[in-house]
Structure 1
Amino acid sequence: MDALEMLLNRRSMAKLKEPAPHGEVLENIIQAGLRAPDHGLLTPWRFVIAQGEGLDTLSAIFAEAEIKSGSDEVIVNKAKNAPKRAPMVITVIATVKPHEKVPALEQHLSAGCAVQAMQMAALAQGFQGMWRSGSWIFNENVKNAFHLEQNDQIVGFLYLGSPAMKPLDVPQRNSQDFVSYL
């Protein structure tokens, strides 16, 4: 699959199974993230990989966040199971650095670009993924578990693995509905 075909047909996949990316494939995924647009060369991101026992740790982080938020048992159990939807989850964190020309928002966007690049690198190498966010990226207990500084922000959890289903068709959108010219 060439790059344009891959971009035009990208589709998140919710059902993932072993194996997860590893070795050179995983390094390519990380390197793709490190090539995200980076105004000022601030490298405003870091990646925390969870697999194996790390998924259990992430599960405990999510469950504890829900317990401390007063969620009911159903939601706590859902939180416990969330990381187990894939054999690997990469938490992508925008690590904001003070800079007079590069505001925090731009650094958050750069980290978001890293997630997209990593997902595309996984797809290019035969793996699949899903970028998840949700309330946990804003939850103070989750942020504390990842040792975030005041302006840092989790931008997403990139679930990675092998496809466990056929991807759904990509919805066709009319570009004219989204484009205007000055």
Structure 2
Amino acid sequence: MPQPCPEALACLETRRSASAKLFRDPVPDEAALHRILTAALRVPDHGKLEPWRLVLLQRADLAQLADLAEARARELGGDAEKIAKGRGQYDLGRLAVAVISSPKPSEKIPLAEQVLSAGALCMNILHAAHAAGWGAQWLSGWPSHDPLFCARAFGCSGAETVAGIIHIATPAAAEAPDRPRPALERVLTRGLAMPADAQS
């Protein structure tokens, strides 16, 4: 028989992304962050390849990333808007964790599965931070998709990419109303899509 965990299910039912623009101090201390990240590492990982790595970003690191993003925007001939968008999340950040998708050579585990595992790790960090009472938001932004920026900032090489940057801190005292969530009936189908005559 199933052994339900109603508290965990209730937590999942209330998870939402807090706005990182409105985050306040404090941020998780070393012990709190260790627990969040250790829990988050319990992620599907076919073949135990660990096809990801984490980079902890504190305020001084985020300030450096803002400067790197601006420098890269200028190299690309970006206008003031591109520079502002590149700096944005880093200038405002207090603490973040960059999840780097780091696929490993494997004849058995497809690249897509390894990349999805990194995405699942991002989601697990959000869940764990929420369960621990913190605000968390998964952000990316154009610098996260620029290979040269990622190489300079996070040492990305080969097939490595930034899966996401998860900001964690104290949420605003009054969050905006939760956004509408999709109705299950609208996105759920039952059975296969193949024609009836092909099922025999």
Q: Amino acid of the residue matched to residue 49 of structure 1? A: L
The 5 A counterparts of 1:133-148 are 133-145=140-152, 146-148=154-156
Match of 2:17 in 1: 12
Match of 2:69 in 1: 62
Greater gyration radius: 2
Higher mean C-alpha deviation, range 132-141 or range 11-20: 132-141
Match of 2:187 in 1: 178
Unaligned runs of 5+ in 2: 1-5, 192-200
Match of 2:195 in 1: none
Higher mean C-alpha deviation, range 109-118 or range 25-34: 25-34
CA distance 1:13–1:157, shift in 2 (3 Å): same
Unaligned runs of 5+ in 1: none
Kindly state the Cα deviation for residue 170 of structure 1 after the two structures are TM-superposed.
Answer: 4.2
CA distance 1:85–1:77, shift in 2 (3 Å): same
1:120 aligns with 2:120: no
The 5 A counterparts of 1:1-182 are 2-14=7-19, 15-145=22-152, 146-167=154-175, 168-182=177-191
The alignment's TM-score, normalised by the length of structure 1, stands at 0.92
2:145–2:162 CA contact under 8 A, matched in 1: yes
- How many residues align? The count is 182
2:101–2:118 CA contact under 8 A, matched in 1: yes
* Distance (whole Å) between structure 1 residues aligned to residue 58 and residue 119 of structure 2: 21
Moved over 4 A (4+): none
Identity of aligned residues (%): 30
2:59–2:93 CA contact under 8 A, matched in 1: no
1:50–1:58 CA contact under 8 A, matched in 2: no
The alignment's TM-score, normalised by the length of structure 2, stands at 0.84
CA distance 1:173–1:77, shift in 2 (3 Å): closer
Counterpart secondary structure, 2:31: helix
2:52–2:100 CA contact under 8 A, matched in 1: yes
Higher mean C-alpha deviation, range 102-111 or range 168-177: 168-177
* Distance (whole Å) between structure 2 residues aligned to residue 86 and residue 166 of structure 1: 19
